[in-house]
Amino acid sequence: MKRVSVTLVAMAICTLTATHALAAANVALRGIGLKVGVVNPEDVDMTLGAGLIADLGTVHPNIALESYAGFWSQTEEFYGSEFRVRDFAVGAKAKYMFKVSNPSVQPFAGAGLGLHFLNAHVETPSFDFGGVIIPGTSVGDTDTDLGLDLGGGLRIDTGSQFSFVGEGWFTLVSDVNHFSLMAGAVYMFGR
């Protein structure tokens, strides 16, 4: 009888907590924006990156959701050979918004998952060794990998239609881990 009572009490507490969390949720497309910045891929020089942001609201007063699409590309040359790597990613992030005294400036920490469409391409030119010509080659590879995003930043709500964001993310993707510093603006709907 005790087990049944404890189980019923636990279920009642979970139901009340879930109802309260559902009432606090505000999941909807609340805004869209652009971000630009620098990306520092592993074993490749720093490059520019750009992306789209979709503000998806909150699942809890302190936990915001965001989906994103991002792109960066870098080309390097070594003794006439050209190496290019590109990454196009789509994914989602959850951000824990820290409570501060000024609600228009919100620091956050977050994590997310992204699907990365990686492309690497190498071209070597033809070489002439005193009449013996070694033909050039062109080799490419495309891979799709799941990546883990870890980072944080600052969101500034201006009270107008726009919110501004500055953020840093470390992305773990097989063979092409990278760190990015981005700044952007989000156009908020319904303000």
pLDDT (tens digit per residue) in 57-113: 999 889 999 999 999 999 988 888 888 999 999 999 999 999 998 888 999 999 999
Average pLDDT over residues 15-28: 58
pLDDT at 23: 47
Tens digit of each residue's pLDDT (9 = 90 or more) over 119-151: 988 888 887 777 787 787 778 888 999 999 999
pLDDT on residue 13: 56
Which two three-digit tokens encode residue 146?
């799941």
More confident residue, 168 or 13: 168
Tokens of 181: 């510093």
pTM (2 decimals)? 0.78
> Tens digit of pLDDT for each residue in 152-184?
999 999 888 999 999 999 999 987 899 999 999
Reported as a pLDDT band with limits 50, 70 and 90, residue 19 is very low
* Every domain of the chain and the residues it spans: 27-188
Place 52 in a pLDDT band, splitting at 50, 70 and 90. very high
The pLDDT value recorded for residue 191 is 64
* First vs last C-alpha separation in the chain: 54
Cα–Cα distance measured from residue 40 to residue 93, given in angstroms and rounded to the nearest whole number: 20
Alpha carbon distance 34, 163 (integer Å): 11
**3.10.129.10, 1.10.10.60, 2.40.160.20, 3.10.290.10: which CATH number matches 27-188?**
2.40.160.20
